A and B are shown apart, each in its own frame.
Chain A
Amino acid sequence: AQTVTQSQPEMSVQEAETVTLSCTYDTSESDYYLFWYKQPPSRQMILVIRQEAYKQQNATENRFSVNFQKAAKSFSLKISDSQLGDAAMYFCAYRVEYGNKLVFGAGTILRVKS
């Protein structure tokens, strides 16, 4: 069975600085997708960034980028130039290539200090 582990229950970052959230996963599949979701205090979860396992290039969305290490089964999220609005719970998630079942990690609470 696939599992997703987020080893940092909480992280803090100073506004305008950079923070990296860790995620590791376990799977025997070779083709899959990885996601980072953000859940602000209002609770509406939104997709931040996604990575296809067959792509070697790390995904980037504005200030958000990932470091995808397929052999190590690691998928970290880097947030550059942190803003107060980045404060939220961040979930790492995995999905097989064909299917709609997402497997989530336990989440990391990110606090942004002004």
Chain B
Amino acid sequence: ETGVTQTPRHLVMGMTNKKSLKCEQHLGHNAMYWYKQSAKKPLELMFVYSLEERVENNSVPSRFSPECPNSSHLFLHLHTLQPEDSALYLCASSQGQLNNNEQFFGPGTRLTVL
């Protein structure tokens, strides 16, 4: 696999379920990101990890819990979600804080909360 991969690609869950989204990057990057993409809204940055430490939490509700066990993997643990959390969740990675660091995106997980 190359680039940034995400699993699952589609997820339907009830409000009482617990599930996790997985992201893996094969680019040797040291920064990873979670974004939420809702219809007709700008992408919203949720979390940033740099060198496996969380450096940004963009006022995300606690029902979303990120985990970065190493520089190649990023998880988003979900529990007791609300229907308004239905969206496309995108993972991205980049090479730290270099001036022109491009963010490479995964294909996303389409989440539907019933």
Report A-chain residues with C-beta under 8 Å of the C-beta of B56.
101
Report B-chain residues with C-beta under 8 Å of the C-beta of A100.
31, 33, 48, 50, 94, 96-97, 101, 103
Report B-chain residues with C-beta under 8 Å of the C-beta of A47.
102-104
Give per-residue flags for B62-97: 1 if the beta carbon is below 8 A from chain A beta carbons, else 0: 000000000000000000000000001010101011
For chain A, residues 20 to 67, give those with C-beta under 8 angstroms from any C-beta of chain B. Answer: 33, 35, 37, 42-47, 50, 52
Query: Are A101 and B102 in contact, CB atoms less than 8 angstroms apart?
Result: no
Report A-chain residues with C-beta under 8 Å of the C-beta of B48.
100-101
Query: Are A43 and B88 in contact, CB atoms less than 8 angstroms apart?
Result: yes
The contact of A91 among B43, B45, B50, by CB within 8 Å, is: B43
Complex-state Cα separation, A46 to B102, whole angstroms? 10
For chain A, residues 95 to 110, give those with C-beta under 8 angstroms from any C-beta of chain B. Answer: 97-107
Report B-chain residues with C-beta under 8 Å of the C-beta of A46.
105
Complex-state Cα separation, A86 to B60, whole angstroms? 34
Interface residues on B, range: 20 to 34
Complex-state Cα separation, A51 to B94, whole angstroms? 17
Flag whether A13 is at the interface (Cβ < 8 A).
no
Complex-state Cα separation, A106 to B38, whole angstroms? 10
Flag whether A4 is at the interface (Cβ < 8 A).
yes
Query: Are A9 and B40 in contact, CB atoms less than 8 angstroms apart?
Result: yes
Report B-chain residues with C-beta under 8 Å of the C-beta of A50.
100, 102
Given contacts A100-B31, A100-B96, contact A43 B107 (CB under 8 A): yes
Complex-state Cα separation, A42 to B96, whole angstroms? 27
Complex-state Cα separation, A42 to B56, whole angstroms? 28
Residues in B lying within 8 Å of A, measured CB to CB? 31, 33, 40-43, 45, 48, 50, 56, 88, 90, 92, 94, 96-97, 99-108
